[in-house]
Structure 1
Amino acid sequence: MRDPNTAATPPPDAAHHSQKGAPSDTTDDRSDEERKRDAELAERLSRLIEDANSRVVPLCKMIRKHIENMEAKKEEDRNESELVEQVRPLLQQAEKILNETQGMIKGADPDNRLSDRAKRHAQTHRATPEEQRLAEALKVLLEEVGGTIEWARDKLDSFPKAKRDLGPLLDALGQPLTQIVGGVGMLLAGVLNLLGNLLSGLGLDSLLKGIVAATGLDKIYSGLGLGKWLNSK
């Protein structure tokens, strides 16, 4: 008979459970091979987007410069046709670069095998250096291209003729940008959480939220429990 003054010894399973504690939401249940493939994919996508940034960011700066120069002129000296001729080829070139990049990102996962697996593992691991690099590259792309599109739309309100000609080109430039971010989100879902945090510090997270909603990722992310920042103010 057990002495009532002696504390009961917990069974081995209970002791093990108390040491283990609640399961961590950052437990990585991927195999070594899956981790390696995810890292390689993130690196490949980073290189694609960094290359696009190196070519498209200078174009965005030139677009801004042309509009600023025209804005600085006296109203009677402004030539909107000249502004259109300056900015149109830059927008078209930027759109071409982003369309090429979007095609290469789509080609990174032709059978959707990676995206299906990425969705399963989206919430199961801490961000890797490769994913952080990819999020940073996307931040630059959204900040420069998405930011320039929004900025130019606002500035062109003062130039109705130029806006009529350039507005559709700004819309066209936004389409591959949306597809690039959405495509990465389908391949490596956790990267958009990182990206959302980076952009919120710049006041640009509304751009990303719009893209996520436009591509239907908001529904997928909510189902994965990743939609917290989507609903943040």
Structure 2
Amino acid sequence: MSSPPSEIGVHDRRDERGMQGPGSDTTSDDRTDDQKKQDAELANRLSALIEDANEKVVPLTKMIRKHIENMDARKEEDRDEQELVDAVKPLLIQAEKILNETQGAVKGADPGNKVSNRAKRHVDAHNATPEEQRLAQALKVMVEEVGGTIEWARNKLDSFPKAKRDLGPLLDALGQPLTQIVAGVGMLLAGVLNLVGNLLSGLGLDGLLKGIIGATGLDKIYKGLGLDKWLNTKK
């Protein structure tokens, strides 16, 4: 799958500097060659799934923002909240459908739970691989575009109480598969979320990821695995 057809899907030097692995200060990696191969293949499968979803969802999030911005720019007497609902509602429903399909595919990406079972038993310290970097970049785009649009739209819709009543539940619904996708990746390849956090932190958006991690309970799981320091979620 190709990267999303926009500037957000392109690696820049700033992003690459943020691609430090969970074990970036050590070269310790006691995975077997077979385990490394499994992890790389899984990361590539997940990347393809998320990149494909981004190609479909990112244009929808941009349209959602555009409709809300255009209505917000109108004089108050010219605003039509029902028109806004009619324009945005089908886009939110379509985006949720895409992410639900992606979430199901992510859930099925580790048949037999070979990788996830090992991840729960043992945490490997190793430098980020190219496959993990690719996955982190794809997930960063999804969190930035979908999660960012959800938060932005909630704030903007405060000026449109009727539209917010109709669209608010759909924004909540869109956030659910996003949360599950992040959780799914986090349980399979935990270190990838650290990379995503670094990328989003450079944009001042790492709070989006921390909110998702808290909502899924991953912060508690990570604390038990000794990973909470990666995402600065340790209390």
- What are the Cα deviations for residues 68-98 of structure 1, in whole angstroms up to 9, with x where unaligned? 0000100000000000000000000000000
Residue 32 (structure 1) aligned with residue 33 (structure 2): yes
Partner of 2:92: 91
1:180-219 equivalence runs, <5 A: 180-219=181-220
Looking at structure 1, the residues matched to 203 and 132 of structure 2 have their Cα atoms a distance apart, in angstroms, of 20
For 2:84 and 2:205, locate their aligned partners in 1 and report how far apart those are by CA, in whole Å.
27
Give the SS at the match of 1:67: helix
Q: Is the 8 A contact 1:92 1:169 kept in 2?
A: yes
Query: Which runs of 5 or more residues in structure 2 are unaligned?
Result: 1-24
Q: What is the CA-CA distance between 1:214 and the residue it aligns to?
A: 1.6
Equivalent position amino acid for 1:180 in 2 = I
Rg larger for: 1
Distance in 1, matches of 2:123 and 2:76, equals 53
Native 8 Å contact 1:25 1:123 kept in 2: no
What is the letter of the counterpart of residue 223 of structure 1?
G
Q: What does residue 68 of structure 2 align with?
A: 67
SS at match of 2:228: coil
CA distance in 2, matches of 1:185, 1:46: 13
Q: Give TM-score, length-normalised by structure 1.
A: 0.86
3-state SS, counterpart of residue 204 of structure 2:
coil
| Structure 1 residue ranges (4+ consecutive) displaced by more than 3 angstroms after TM superposition | 119-123
Amino acid corresponding to residue 82 of structure 2 in structure 1: S
Structure 2 match to 1:43: 44
The TM-score, its normalising length taken from structure 2, stands at: 0.86
Q: Identity over the aligned pairs, expressed in percent? A: 78
One-letter code of the match for 2:40? A
Q: Distance in 1 between matches of 2:38 and 2:233?
A: 31
Secondary structure at the aligned position of 1:103 is classed as helix
CA distance in 1, matches of 2:188, 2:233: 22
Match of 2:123 in 1: 122
Residue range with higher mean Cα deviation, 65-74 or 103-112: 103-112
**Counterparts of 1:172 and 1:42, CA distance in 2:** 26
Q: Deviations over 1:148-190 (max 9, x none)?
A: 0000000000000000000000000000000000000001011
* Runs of 5+ unmatched residues, structure 1: 1-23
Q: Is the 8 A contact 1:59 1:90 kept in 2?
A: yes
- Structure scoring higher RCO (CA < 8 A, sep ≥ 6) equals 2
- Alpha-carbon distance between aligned partners in 2 of 1:56 and 1:150, rounded to the nearest angstrom: 16
